[in-house]
Structure 1
Amino acid sequence: MRHARPLPTYLVQRYHGWKATAYHENKAWYRRLAKEGQHPRAMVISCCDSRVHVTSIFGADQGEFFIHRNIANLVPPHKPDGDLHGTSAALEYAVNVLKVAHIVVMGHSNCGGVKGCYDMCSGHAPELEEQASYVGRWMDLLRPGYERTAEIADPAERTRAMERQAVLVSLENLMTFPFVREAVEGEVMTLHGLWNDIGEGDLECYDPAKGDFVRV
């Protein structure tokens, strides 16, 4: 592969710093993880956004979370003959092989993917309407969330509501997977919906009894 290049110097330096400190001080733990495999208690589906740092928010150690990241933390509906299998494959592995006890879908503020969906659905991003747009076709998953927020006139307020809708749409789609439904209805696994305000550090959890997100 002639297009690949050596790792940037700053990343090499950071790696050596980690190897000499964090790894060296916890070598036994890393070797135990390598030997015994992973046994995470929860799967977290979050956004690719570089500002979303799930392990830092929850103070998680290596091996604690099985994390899957994609644009706007979306889960496609169960569709074995479809094309969107990356997230579905991670989900199947987490539930059927790792036997996680929880699946957490975490959205966040100022999500670029959600903003792109709003722009596309409102006719302001024709490039995302193109069939060749990977982002556009992925964000089609959130069109129900756009439609549900039609009564909100202010674009910024509507986009913020769509960020929470991205979580709800994903939770709904999770239940279309037979193995997820079986685990949830068998009470061996629970689903959770979260929304994180990056700037304020706040975390909201969806409360089905109230039909809304409430601050944790």
Structure 2
Amino acid sequence: MQFAKPLPSYLVQRYHGWKATTYSENQAWYRRLATEGQRPRAMVISCCDSRVHVTSIFGADQGEFFIHRNIANLVPPYEPDGERHGTSAAIEYAVTALKVAHLIVLGHSQCGGVQGCIDMCKGNAPQLEAKESFVGRWMDILKPRFELVAEIDDSTEQARQFERQAVVASLENLMTFPFVESAVKAGELSIHGLWTDIGEGALEFYDPKEKKFALV
């Protein structure tokens, strides 16, 4: 592949730093992970946003989380004949092969994907409405829920509420997967909805009884 290039020097330096410290001090653990395979306790579906760092938030060790990231941390509905199989495949593998005990959907503040969906719903994002827009077609998953926040006048609060709706929509879509529903009803899997405020470091969880988010 003629266009591939060597790593930037700063990444090379960081790698050698990691190899000489973190890896060197934990060689036995890394070799155990390599030989025994992964046994993550939870799967986390989070946004691609570089500011969302799941392992840091929960202080997780290597091998503890099975992490899948996509635009706006969305889960599509169960569609065996559909075209959105990347996230669905990750969920299938986590639940049926890895047998994770917890499945977490983590949303966040200032989500660009959610804002893009808002712009689409308001007719302000023709580039996302284009058929060839991968982001736009992915955000179609969330568009039907815009009516739940459409009457909120404050744009910041509207976005924050819609970010939370993205989490709830994903939780609902998770339960359309037969193997997820079966594992949940059997008590083998629990699903959780979270939203984090990047600037404040706050973390909220979705309470299905109250039908709202509350601080952890």
* Matched residue type, 2:12: V
Unaligned runs of 5+ in 2: none
Alignment of 1:17-36 (within 5 A): 17-36=17-36
Equivalent residue, structure 1, for 2:126: 126
Which secondary structure does the structure 1 equivalent of 2:67 belong to? strand
How far off is 1:144 after superposition?
2.3
What is the percent sequence identity of the aligned residues? 71
Of 205-214 and 37-46, deviating more is 205-214
Q: CA contact under 8 A between 1:107 and 1:164: conserved in structure 2?
A: yes
Of 205-214 and 85-94, deviating more is 205-214
Alignment of 1:48-87 (within 5 A): 48-87=48-87
Tell me how far apart the structure 1 counterparts of residues 145 and 10 of structure 2 sit (CA, whole Å). Answer: 41
Deviations 1:134-166 (A, max 9, x none): 000000011122122122122221111100000
Alignment of 1:34-53 (within 5 A): 34-53=34-53
Q: CA contact under 8 A between 1:45 and 1:104: conserved in structure 2?
A: yes
Tell me how far apart the structure 1 counterparts of residues 115 and 63 of structure 2 sit (CA, whole Å). Answer: 33
Equivalent residue, structure 1, for 2:157: 157
Which secondary structure does the structure 2 equivalent of 1:176 belong to? coil
Tell me how far apart the structure 2 counterparts of residues 132 and 111 of structure 1 sit (CA, whole Å). Answer: 22
Tell me how far apart the structure 1 counterparts of residues 188 and 99 of structure 2 sit (CA, whole Å). Answer: 9
Of 131-140 and 155-164, deviating more is 155-164
Unaligned runs of 5+ in 1: none
Q: CA contact under 8 A between 1:144 and 1:169: conserved in structure 2?
A: no
Give me the CA root mean square deviation: 0.6
Q: CA contact under 8 A between 1:194 and 1:203: conserved in structure 2?
A: yes
Q: CA contact under 8 A between 1:41 and 1:101: conserved in structure 2?
A: yes
In the superposition, the TM-score normalised over structure 1's length comes to 0.99
Q: CA contact under 8 A between 1:66 and 1:94: conserved in structure 2?
A: yes
Which secondary structure does the structure 1 equivalent of 2:204 belong to? strand
Tell me how far apart the structure 1 counterparts of residues 43 and 3 of structure 2 sit (CA, whole Å). Answer: 34
Equivalent residue, structure 2, for 1:195: 195
Tell me how far apart the structure 2 counterparts of residues 144 and 168 of structure 1 sit (CA, whole Å). Answer: 13
Tell me how far apart the structure 1 counterparts of residues 122 and 25 of structure 2 sit (CA, whole Å). Answer: 53
